[in-house]
Chains A and B, each alone.
Chain A
């Protein structure tokens, strides 16, 4: 798994500068969680890494510790599940192979079935997304991302549209399934960041700056009622609400 360093990142959107000279490190095999208010540019930072900078003026030096470029080594998961309504669950998981080579190979189908069982959706392979609940749909999106088997995972508020209980379950599942990858998770939920992150950073201000990382102790996913998690959650919420909008 590569570590990724972003140096001198600057980004403008419709003539308005969101941040400039920003540095961010993503240590290998760890979850880095990025918190911040809406519109502060945290999603844009993630899109910069994913190469989805259409319509933005973006510039950054991105380095990896193994010296190879990031292209083709990134998996992306968004807030919306982005399932294609005309494909069944299994074909949605196989979307990557379908797009790249037309017909997925036999072992890829097997792998997709296995991943669906991993996210707890065995038996729903032939369903259409419209017949699934929000949590189930996001599980399919998770399986689709795992299907790509990429070392660097970028997640943009993937669980924010879910109800509280479903969200906690999916956080546990994601922490388990993506344990050894280099992950950047964008969220506006301090609890989520503290449960899942090896390092938690806050992006705030204008132009936006990154705070020093908080490094909670213990293995992830941390329990919701852990005193350390609760204390840090209070501290982060205070920091987020007190920051000038």
Chain B
């Protein structure tokens, strides 16, 4: 049912798109219609697949490193109380440096290849993930912590068995944000300098007035990003069966109270 609805929305958007092309009578090198883009998608599928693979790898690696780093930083902040006054300002300052401005520097240090793009994606998601994890770990219900203390829990089991699982919903929302932001990091990295990837392909096609190919690359990127988001959403739901909260709340009817 939801698949059908999604397809319906997509079809509606395509119809609006086509209508816009007809109404404005825009030439096809400015705004190609959906059929032209589909055509470009079909005839360049090999090329698109190759570049999409590179970008996907950059996104996934960036996501992995960003989440590990963010979670690690949050756990460090929670565990070493005394480090907090020193680390928190560093964290906030690091966030105020625009990651886009760092792209040329990363290119200089890490080279033309994949490493600089992975670093971009990692950096761009590091702060939201850290902030979400840290907030989640910090705001554990005091009742649970007190109960655990009267049950004789030490600091380690308090963190691993109470704080961490209690923070999972917050970690989840951090991860969802990360999944939707990581593609930006990877593509910006490719724009600044690369010879592969969807970002590179888009720049290249744009320079040659192959606007239909550019749109096809954009479409592939969007599908990838949306797919990644829903994959992570599904994964989080599997991980937290007790958490009825979802993106769409039509599942709530199934909930039953004994």
Contacts and interface: CB of A to CB of B under 8 A. Distances in A.
Interface of A: 50-52, 72, 74-76, 78, 80, 82, 84-86, 95-96, 98-100, 102, 124, 127-133, 136, 148
A78 B147 contact: yes
A52 B157 CA distance: 18
B152 interface: yes
Interface in B204-258: 240-244, 255-258
Contact of A84 (B152, B153, B162): B162
B46 interface: no
Interface in B125-178: 141, 143-144, 146-153, 157-158, 161-162, 165-166, 168
A128 B242 contact: yes
B48 to A, nearest CB: 42
Nearest to B143: A82
Contact of B258 (A50, A85, A131): A131
Contacts of B240: 86
A74 B152 CA distance: 10
Contacts of B153: 99-100
B151 A52 contact: no
A82 B144 contact: yes
A100 B151 contact: yes
Contacts of A132: 258
B240 to A, nearest CB: 7
A75 B150 contact: yes
A96 B149 CA distance: 10
A99 B161 contact: yes
A99 B154 CA distance: 8
A127 B258 CA distance: 10
Interface of B: 141, 143-144, 146-153, 157-158, 161-162, 165-166, 168, 240-244, 255-258
B149 A52 contact: yes
B101 to A, nearest CB: 41
B168 A74 contact: no
Max chain B CB contacts within 10 Å: which of A78, A84, A133, A148? A84
Contacts of A85: 242-243
Closest 6 CB pairs of A and B: A99-B153, A96-B151, A76-B150, A85-B242, A99-B157, A86-B165
Contacts of A72: 152
Nearest to B157: A99
A133 B257 contact: yes
B151 A95 contact: yes
Nearest to B152: A100
B257 to A, nearest CB: 7
A159 to B, nearest CB: 16
A127 to B, nearest CB: 8
Contacts of B257: 131, 133
A75 B149 CA distance: 11
A86 B157 contact: no
B143 A86 contact: no
Nearest to B256: A131
B78 to A, nearest CB: 17
